[in-house]
Amino acid sequence: MDLCCRTRLYYLLDPNSHAKLNFTEFFNVIDGKLKTTKETSQGVNPSTLEKNPPVPVSTREDVDRAVQAAKKASEAWAEVPYKERQALVAKFADSIDLIKEDLAVLLTKEQGKPLQLAHVGIGKAIQFLQGYSQLPDPEEVIEDRPGRRVVTRYAPLGVAVGNVPWNFLTCRIAAAKIGPALIAGNAFILKPSLYTPYCDLKLAELALKYFPAGVVQALSGNDDLGPCLTAHSGVDKISFTGSRATGKKVLQSAAGNLKRVVLELGGNDPAIVCSDVNVKEVAPKLCIAVKRIYVHESIYDDVLETLASTVKNLPVGDGLESTTVIGPVQNHLQFDRVKSLIADIQSHGLKLTAGSTSPSDAGKGYFITPTVVDNPPDASRIVVEEPFDEDEVLRRANDNPMGLGASVWTPDLEKAERLAARLKAGTAWFNSHHELNPNVPWGH
């Protein structure tokens, strides 16, 4: 079959039908088909502790079948022109938009986040896929003169695997792995977290309408699935988002056949708040994706008071309740970890300006009372605000093995650029935190 005929076949796979997916049954997607497994597992709604529907637990044989199908599909998919691959990704994004209400409810049930934030997460996934579908072909002419032409082209690698975490960006992260892999001409296998597999499996099921068999697949499973995929000799690229400890294992297992690997690991992001900010405007924004907050001593008390007031008034509860702003911790392991941090705060007698070390009364789920700790020592496990000069705060902000992102808060852009240039972080924001766009590199 020539390229033109093959391309027409791809478009015929899009039935222009947007029938609603069944959101009560969940399957692996292997070689263009929905597949069950002998063994299943069930996630838990972290707000209610009720079990979510069964999902497959993939075996090594399932992995072999998926990789084999991806290998076969990748050869033909790589020959489809760049713009046509983008067009199909755009159609896929549009189809997600048509079922975003159902996906948002599903995301809240599996992850716990408030429904309004689930809508934001699904919207970001759509935005990123649409953004990727508009990026220019990265081919670059380096030199072009009589008798000599030098061109940089980016060839597909083959089979890419994307490991997606359970954190609050899970759907956006899935989209950020699926879109670039497909547009670059690779076949893609999505591996969701065992705690939050539901939305990711539905995204892969929806993709069956738009891509040939084997181009987009998904496998859910237990802790054995990730290592099985990363070590598989038929996989050419791994994109992993998760902890540093697991990232090290991914890198080791991928070395067997020299796979290309991208690791997006823990952040522990710092925010540096300078003395010239509008405290009332900035303090509430510091609740978003920031782990450590360093506040200039001249505004420390004002920021602390405003931040504490904001935190005290955040409604905690089931993500499906319209008034909820803070949902539960996503899973029992993280819940136990946070409780151990709270126990550490209590045992060291640290001062709280908001919240409590007592159990939350928000419900029987994995709920924690939002808490602000006032000026803890560096040796404590909880680190937030602290007075500083520039050299001191930079030393402390950089004194961490992680470095995903950081932010500087000041209306003085010259000062912001000076501080940001010395931050050891992949991305530095000014007067915001965690603003992501599909055309901007992320991490380092």
Here the CATH number for the domain that contains residue 27 is 3.40.605.10
Tell me what pLDDT residue 126 has.
98
The reply to whether 441 falls in a domain is no
Could you give the C-alpha distances from 200 to 176, 181, 247, 376, 441, in angstroms and in order?
12, 16, 21, 39, 23
Q: How many CB atoms lie within 10 A of CB 388?
A: 20
DSSP labels, 412-442: -HHHHHHHHHH---SEEEES-S----TTS--
Do 99 and 240 fall within a single domain? yes
> Last residue of some domain: 264, 287, 314?
264
Q: Which residues contact 210 (CB under 8 A, 6 or more apart)?
A: 13, 14, 88, 91, 92, 95
Radius of gyration of the chain (CA): 23
Q: How far apart are CA 202 and CA 97, in angstroms?
A: 13
Do 239 and 301 fall within a single domain? no
Q: How far apart are CA 172 and CA 387, in angstroms?
A: 35
Q: 284: which DSSP letter?
A: G
The reply to whether 442 falls in a domain is no
Range of the domain at 343: 270-430
φ and ψ at residue 114, rounded to 5 degrees: -55, 145
Tell me what pLDDT residue 57 has.
98
> Last residue of some domain: 240, 264, 288?
264
Tell me what pLDDT residue 420 has.
76
CA-angle at 440, arms to 438 and 444, nearest 5°: 120
Tell me what pLDDT residue 22 has.
93
Do 358 and 413 fall within a single domain? yes
Asked if residue 239 lies in contact with residue 443, where contact means CB atoms within 8 angstroms, the answer is no
Do 46 and 151 fall within a single domain? yes
> Last residue of some domain: 264, 292, 307?
264
Do 217 and 288 fall within a single domain? no
- Model confidence over 262-284: pLDDT tens digits? 998 876 778 888 888 888 888 77
Total number of domains constituting the chain: 2
Do 275 and 402 fall within a single domain? yes
Do 249 and 317 fall within a single domain? no
The reply to whether 437 falls in a domain is no
Collapsing DSSP states into helix, strand and coil, what is residue 307? helix
Q: How many CB atoms lie within 10 A of CB 348?
A: 14
The reply to whether 435 falls in a domain is no
Q: How far apart are CA 221 and CA 55, in angstroms?
A: 8
Asked if residue 434 lies in contact with residue 172, where contact means CB atoms within 8 angstroms, the answer is no
Do 216 and 324 fall within a single domain? no
The reply to whether 438 falls in a domain is no
Tell me what pLDDT residue 13 has.
43
Residue ranges, the chain, pLDDT below 50: 1-18, 382-388, 444
The reply to whether 407 falls in a domain is yes
CATH code of the domain covering residue 419 = 3.40.309.10
Could you give the C-alpha distances from 262 to 4, 166, 239, 241, in angstroms and in order?
34, 18, 5, 8
Do 251 and 284 fall within a single domain? no
Does pTM surpass 0.75? yes
The reply to whether 335 falls in a domain is yes
Task: Kindly list the catalytic residues.
Answer: 264
Do 276 and 254 fall within a single domain? no
Bridge partners, 148 (sequence order): 145
Tell me what pLDDT residue 416 has.
74
Could you give the C-alpha distances from 369 to 109, 110, 335, 356, 384, in angstroms and in order?
20, 20, 12, 6, 17
| Residue 168 CB-density burial (10 A; 0-12 exposed, 13-18 middle, 19+ buried) | buried
Per DSSP bridges, beta strands 187-191 and 28-30 are unpaired
Tell me what pLDDT residue 118 has.
96
Asked if residue 187 lies in contact with residue 77, where contact means CB atoms within 8 angstroms, the answer is yes
Bridge partners, 56 (sequence order): 40
Q: How far apart are CA 406 and CA 428, in angstroms?
A: 5
Do 187 and 86 fall within a single domain? yes
Do 221 and 304 fall within a single domain? no
The reply to whether 33 falls in a domain is yes
Q: 256: which DSSP letter?
A: G
